[in-house]
């Protein structure tokens, strides 16, 4: 028997056409979609208001391809990392970051990553495939359940900062955002969602044109092309001038101020001269800066900035007029912090 189709990958038109072919009333489409997205059904038998005959037809032809929590780890600071098992046996990681009443889910968009950022553990895992919108959606639903189970609170924010480059899975990422923010889906405000990118200028422009109203974070990590290309090879085809133009376009189109993410690497990008160069970048675009504490990875070539060096660097930025925040790392003891997601339990098989 051929593989079953994932019903969550069907368009509305395709689902309506299938129902017509099966001589089922058109109103069943709304019921099915409500179960799939609003109620996040895990199997067809949960769809209690559908007749048994239709459920059998659905089971014979389709699958839901649900993502499952395979393993969880809880950090001493309360951060939870979950290994998410996909329907084809591959694994991605998602992270729940609790901070007071704020519950943030960090979700993945690809299995592995096709980029080669030198400071990131995920970059060592060969990209196997893009995630479907439904698989991104499932991560959000499952992290919401973990937030309710462990903290008695619902999820409040989502960041696309897990494994993979979201803008290299553009279609499915955009689709997932539309489902998550739709009243027929999870109904989350787009202002609570942030998409992070290593910097693909044309796709930043495309994201602006989608009018999703989500936040954008650019992984900058160096103040000039020379240094950025050393740690982020993608900069060679997306240099800073192109990225600045794209960020200006994003801001002018959406009115949303982008964030520049900047991981502080000891002696590499945290000097006073680096701060001065970074200020020239910020003065040419409307933006704000998140300084990120570097989280060492096995065999990595960098070290985190010293506390006094990091403070001096940040103070120079603030004195120069840049809106600057130091983002404290969470979940370092379970390899759940920024740049540490590497599926260590699946690393050997997913690198093949």
The values of phi and psi at residue 283, to 5°, are -75, -15
First to last CA, the chain: 28
- Please determine, for residue 349, whether its predicted confidence score (pLDDT) is greater than 60: no
Instruction: Identify whether 56 is a catalytic site residue.
Output: no
Q: How far is CA 107 from the centre of its chain?
A: 4
* Average pLDDT estimate for 176-180: 98
Annotated catalytic residue within 24, 93, 135, 172: 93
Q: What is the pLDDT of residues 65-85, one digit of tens each?
A: 999 999 999 999 999 999 999
- All structural domains of the chain, each given as residue ranges with its CATH number in brackets, are 5-63 (1.10.150.530), 106-128+157-350 (3.20.20.70)
- Please determine, for residue 169, whether its predicted confidence score (pLDDT) is greater than 70: yes
**Do residues 270 and 314 make contact, with C-beta atoms less than 8 angstroms apart?**
no
- 10-19, 255-264, 325-334, range with the lowest pLDDT: 325-334
Instruction: Identify whether 338 is a catalytic site residue.
Output: yes
The values of phi and psi at residue 96, to 5°, are -105, 125
- Please determine, for residue 341, whether its predicted confidence score (pLDDT) is greater than 60: no
What is the pLDDT confidence band of residue 311, given thresholds at 50, 70 and 90? Answer: very high
User: Which residues, 6+ apart, have CB-to-CB distance to 172 below 8 Å?
Assistant: 109, 130, 131, 132, 133, 136
Annotated catalytic residue within 106, 117, 120, 338: 338
């Amino acid at each position: 028997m051929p593989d079953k189709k994932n019903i969550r990958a069907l368009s509305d038109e395709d689902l309506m056409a299938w129902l017509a072919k099966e001589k089922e009333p058109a109103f069943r489409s709304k019921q099915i979609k409500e179960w799939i997205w609003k109620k996040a059904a895990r199997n067809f038998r949960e769809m209690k208001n559908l007749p048994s005959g239709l459920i059998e037809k659905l089971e014979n032809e389709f699958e839901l391809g649900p993502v499952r929590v395979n393993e969880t780890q809880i950090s001493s600071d309360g951060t939870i990392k979950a290994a998410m098992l996909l329907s084809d046996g591959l694994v991605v990681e998602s992270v729940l970051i609790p901070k007071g009443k704020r519950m943030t889910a960090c979700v993945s968009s690809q299995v592995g990553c096709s980029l080669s950022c030198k400071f990131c553990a995920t970059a060592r895992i060969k990209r196997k495939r893009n995630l479907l919108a439904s698989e991104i959606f499932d991560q959000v639903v499952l992290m919401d359940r973990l937030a309710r189970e462990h903290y008695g609170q619902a999820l409040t924010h989502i960041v696309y900062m897990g494994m993979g480059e979201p803008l290299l899975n553009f279609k499915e990422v955009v689709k997932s955002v539309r489902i998550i923010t739709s009243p027929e889906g999870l109904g989350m405000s787009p202002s609570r969602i942030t998409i992070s990118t290593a910097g693909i200028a044309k796709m930043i422009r495309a994201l602006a044109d989608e009018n999703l109203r989500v936040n954008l974070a650019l992984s900058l990590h160096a103040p000039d092309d020379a240094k950025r290309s050393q740690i982020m090879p993608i900069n060679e085809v997306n240099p800073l001038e192109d990225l600045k133009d794209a960020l200006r376009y994003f801001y002018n189109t959406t009115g949303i101020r982008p964030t520049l993410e900047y991981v502080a690497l000891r002696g590499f990008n945290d000097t006073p001269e680096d701060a001065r160069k970074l200020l020239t970048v910020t003065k040419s675009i409307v933006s704000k800066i998140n300084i990120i504490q570097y989280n060492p990875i096995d065999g990595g070539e960098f070290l985190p900035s010293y506390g006094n060096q990091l403070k001096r660097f940040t103070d120079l930025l603030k004195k120069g007029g840049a809106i600057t925040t130091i983002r404290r790392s969470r979940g370092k003891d379970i390899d759940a912090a920024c740049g540490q997601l590497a599926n260590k339990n699946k690393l050997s098989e997913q690198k093949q």
